[in-house]
Structure 1
Amino acid sequence: MPMRITLHQLQLFDAAARMPSFKAAAEALNLSPPALSIQLKILEESLGVSLFEQIGKKKYLTSPGLELQQVCHRIFDELNHLDMRFTQLRGGMAGKLSIAIVTSAKYFMPHLFGAFQRVYPNVEFNMIVANRTRILERLENNADDLVIMAHVPDAFDIKAIDFLDNPLIVIASPDHPLVKVKNIAFEQLLQQPFLIRESGSGTRMAVEQYFSSHNAAMKVAMELGSSEAIKQGVLARLGISILSRHCVWLELKTGFLKQLDVQGFPDVRSWYVVYRKGKQLSPVADAFIKFIVANGQIMLDEVEQLYR
């Protein structure tokens, strides 16, 4: 006997699977917990399997539940692609785009989203900002349409497209003695106390690679969990640091921080838009990639011009 399940039932199940509790899922769906429970019970009876199990106060997906969740994602993705494709055929571009970005990219990606949305006003963005570890988890689980990162992993079968230069620069407080020194030798930095990002950060990895390539070691004064914390630490004269220029361009414009003139810097790397190989990109995702590859640097240069 064929299964008789509806799209609405799958939507209810998917919400219940994603939320931390059935109560939270019911609230998000504007249902009462008993009403949601009844709908899920009907779905389980239709499928002939249990989709959830309760251990203590926590709910977990069973093996069939995990399998159904994957099927739901494929179905919803296909329906979303179909909706965007039909919109495109009608002469427009609309839909939702989910993009996960590492924390250092939050300083410039909103400007690119805004520029794209001015061209395609019917596109909605869902931006997830997280540290590198969490972003890699989302990439592995194919949780987003696209991922923005600077240090591309080797572990995944992915497609990575560079779209923007990522210059790493040495920064210091305005009254640091090296600020007025020209053509600073790299060796002079080795005695300076450094503020660095936490282990696992893409910026931390890039900086460590640079020092390793010069057979040198940093004099680490403090490890901090965000670029914002590092900027405040540098401003407080706790040490110098190396960050992406995109993280500090506004502070450089206002004079709150200074870029040191160090030999070998800027160390120019790249920002990448990343997705899993074999992933069927939506028309919106494909258009966004082409847009930032063609216009990313131009858009950011225009933003900086506003502050001159």
Structure 2
Amino acid sequence: MAQIKGKLKRPFIWQTMTLHQLQVFEATARLGSFTRAAEELHLTQPTVSMQVKHLAKAIGAPLFEQIGKRLYLTESGQVLFKTCQEVFERLDRLEINLFELKGVAQGRLRLSATTTAKYFLPKLLTPFCQQFSGINVSLEVGSHDTVLDRLNDNLDDIYIFSRLPKRDDIEIKAFLCNPLVVVAPTEHPLMHKPQVTLTDLAEYPFVMRERGSATREAADHLLRQQGIPVRVKLELGSNEAIKQAVSQGLGLSILSLHSLTDRDSELQLSVLNVDHFPIHQQWYTVFPKEKILSTVARTFVDYLLAESSQYCQVHPISIAQTTHIANLESNQQRMEASLVS
């Protein structure tokens, strides 16, 4: 240790901590749990607790306070957590810059998408990963509010929404159609009508997505606009659960066409030909305006814009007029084939 005029020079705080300790602390603070941090980092819970304890000793102040089973950041912890996020973001940027200097698309791509995207995004990601084998992709899927929270915390490179956040500080690119259709059991009485009106729908109960979901918001907006009251018998937060409920005769539903797959053939689901349907929605890529996209992220956005245009060559109206799920799937398979080719 250096000596100045007979006095020992004290080390900076950052010299008394390790990068590993900061990683452990950041995960614990972000997840709010020693146990969940241990699972994410593939460590034992005592190891995580000990690393945080050593870091608090180096800082000279407690980083967490535990009330019941919940962890809360202290004021010092909040300052350190924000610093950790900035440090790790700069380190990620360093890695990206080094790859960009080499002129190759390599590195990590972090995506976050709302739940219905899980039906089509893997199909788009597969050829992308095959084409760019040097890119490692992570995908987080959650509710609209969950993805919005991740956007607010700047946790990912690209965010995928079907209902846009109401804010002006984001870049938006529409890349894929998202038609919403009315789904019924194959033996439903309305299946015998070549053209179903919204008034017809009002006579039957509905099984709907939870309030706040993009699908529910779009459906409610159309029905309110047309002055059609519908009876929502059941609200569910999962498309899979809704399809099961519809197949059991609990009601009609309004779902994204993308959520109907060949695995649903056993459920005997059908798409009704209804006035004002499909509801024309879009999928969007979103990222903060101030964010400088990496080569990897830019490559992915360009890829989505190019490939998804082929995915929507079949017009949603022609799809919605199909009645049985088997016929619906043949249309989807043709779209997927055009995507892969």
CA distance in 2, matches of 1:171, 1:303: 16
Q: Determine if contact 1:194/1:219 at 8 Å carries over to the other structure.
A: yes
**What is the aligned partner in structure 2 of residue 202 from structure 1?**
214
Picking from 275, 283, 293, the partner of 1:281 is 293
**What is the aligned partner in structure 1 of residue 79 from structure 2?**
67
Q: Report the AA paired with residue 257 of structure 1.
A: L
Q: Helix, strand or coil for the counterpart of 1:179?
A: helix
**What is the aligned partner in structure 2 of residue 55 from structure 1?**
67
Task: Answer yes or no: is 1:261 the counterpart of 2:273.
Answer: yes
Q: Report the AA paired with residue 170 of structure 2.
A: I
Q: Determine if contact 1:194/1:221 at 8 Å carries over to the other structure.
A: yes
> 5+ residue gaps in structure 1?
none
**What is the aligned partner in structure 1 of residue 333 from structure 2?**
304
**What is the aligned partner in structure 1 of residue 101 from structure 2?**
89
CA distance in 1, matches of 2:42, 2:192: 62
Task: Answer yes or no: is 1:193 the counterpart of 2:200.
Answer: no
**What is the aligned partner in structure 2 of residue 216 from structure 1?**
228
| Matched ranges for 1:121-140 at <5 A | 121-140=133-152
Q: Which has the higher contact order (CA 8 A, sep 6+)?
A: 1
| Matched ranges for 1:1-308 at <5 A | 2-3=12-13, 4=15, 5-22=17-34, 25=37, 39-154=51-166, 157-250=169-262, 256-298=268-310, 304-305=333-334
CA distance in 2, matches of 1:6, 1:160: 38
Q: Report the AA paired with residue 184 of structure 1.
A: V
Aligned sequence identity (%): 38
Distance 1:169 1:91, change over 3 A: same
CA shift digits 1:125-154 (9 cap, x unpaired): 222121223222222222222221211121
CA distance in 2, matches of 1:156, 1:266: 29
Q: Determine if contact 2:151/2:287 at 8 Å carries over to the other structure.
A: yes
CA distance in 2, matches of 1:269, 1:71: 39
Q: Helix, strand or coil for the counterpart of 1:159?
A: strand
TM-score, L = length of structure 2: 0.79
Q: Report the AA paired with residue 241 of structure 1.
A: S
Q: Helix, strand or coil for the counterpart of 2:190?
A: coil
CA shift digits 1:95-154 (9 cap, x unpaired): 222222211111111111212111111222222121223222222222222221211121
CA shift digits 1:169-188 (9 cap, x unpaired): 11111122222422322322
CA distance in 2, matches of 1:232, 1:201: 19
Q: 1:262 offset after TM fit, Å?
A: 1.4
Q: Determine if contact 2:244/2:267 at 8 Å carries over to the other structure.
A: no
Distance 1:91 1:156, change over 3 A: closer
Q: 1:235 offset after TM fit, Å?
A: 1.4
Distance 1:246 1:48, change over 3 A: same
Moved more, 74-83 or 19-28: 19-28
- Size of the aligned set, in residue pairs, is 308
Q: Determine if contact 2:206/2:251 at 8 Å carries over to the other structure.
A: yes
* Structure possessing the higher radius of gyration over alpha carbons: 2
CA shift digits 1:239-275 (9 cap, x unpaired): 2111110011436778832211112211111011122
Q: Determine if contact 1:111/1:300 at 8 Å carries over to the other structure.
A: no
Q: Report the AA paired with residue 140 of structure 1.
A: N
Moved more, 167-176 or 81-90: 81-90
Distance 1:300 1:116, change over 3 A: farther
Q: 1:207 offset after TM fit, Å?
A: 0.4
CA distance in 2, matches of 1:238, 1:43: 55
> 5+ residue gaps in structure 2?
1-9, 314-330
Q: Report the AA paired with residue 286 of structure 1.
A: R
Q: Determine if contact 1:81/1:283 at 8 Å carries over to the other structure.
A: no
Q: Report the AA paired with residue 231 of structure 1.
A: K
Aligned Cα root-mean-square deviation (Å): 3.0
CA distance in 1, matches of 2:234, 2:25: 46
CA distance in 2, matches of 1:74, 1:109: 29
CA distance in 2, matches of 1:186, 1:24: 47
Distance 1:179 1:124, change over 3 A: same
Distance 1:29 1:241, change over 3 A: closer
Q: Report the AA paired with residue 158 of structure 1.
A: I
